Amino acid sequence: MLRIYKNHSAKFDNPQDLKNYCFGGRGVVTLENPKTKIHHTYHIKKPRNEDEFPDDVYFIYAVHMMGDTNKCFYIGMIERGKFRLTRASRFDRHHAIVKGAHYLMQMMENPGAFIKMNVYHEGMCSVCGRPLTSPASLKRGVGPRCWAYLKDTLPWKQPNPDG
Ligand SMILES: [Zn+2]
């Protein structure tokens, strides 16, 4: 089961932080329509058996929260930055959860798409899964040690080398 630290949750304020976070390998984000408050939660995960997949493959799951517990349902995969459904997907392409996953990917690349929806991380570091504490970590969604490692492994450049 995924551990979620709802009271450490924070809203992303730019597409770059969201993208960095999602590629940490075990992040959880919630996408929310600011008008309707309809929201979906996604877990973006590196494969457990990493050797069997290229480095740039991630799986995306829908997280259903039920009280203190939650369940993950497989949606599809992200490969070279592109999301797609696969045969094992539990949802078809018309499902709101799938549309949300596509939108989440757009938000990482497109500031215009980013500002139309709210997106939050769920309080844990997207690299190690531990709860986040400092303001800088909360903003980024990645703890200081994990960030030192993650920022050098990301395939895209960081705007601020000290960030
Ligand atoms: Zn960490």
Contact yes or no for 113/125 (Cβ under 8 A): no
Cα(88) to ligand 1 centroid in Å equals 30
What's 36's DSSP letter? T
Spacing, Cα 142 to ligand 1 middle (Å)? 6
**Nearest CA among 30, 34, 103 for reference residue 65:** 30
- Nearest-5° angle of CA 35, CA 40, CA 134? 90
Residue spans per domain, the chain: 6-153
How far apart are the CA of 36 and the centre of ligand 1, in A? 33
Q: What pLDDT sits at residue 7?
A: 87
Residue 63 CA to ligand 1 center (angstroms) comes to 20
Predicted local distance difference test score (pLDDT) of residue 59: 96
**Per-residue pLDDT of the chain in tens (163 residues, 90 and over written 9):** 688 888 899 999 999 999 999 999 999 999 999 999 999 999 999 998 878 888 789 999 999 988 778 899 999 999 988 999 999 999 999 999 999 999 999 999 999 999 999 999 999 999 999 999 999 999 999 999 999 999 988 877 777 655 4
What is the pTM assigned to this prediction?
0.93
Residue 72 one-letter amino acid: C
At residue 126's C-alpha, the angle toward residues 43 and 21, to 5°, is 90
Task: Give the pLDDT confidence score for residue 56 in this predicted structure.
Answer: 86
What's the gap in Å between 138 CA and the centre of ligand 1? Answer: 11
Q: Ligand 1 centre from 150 Cα, in Å?
A: 9
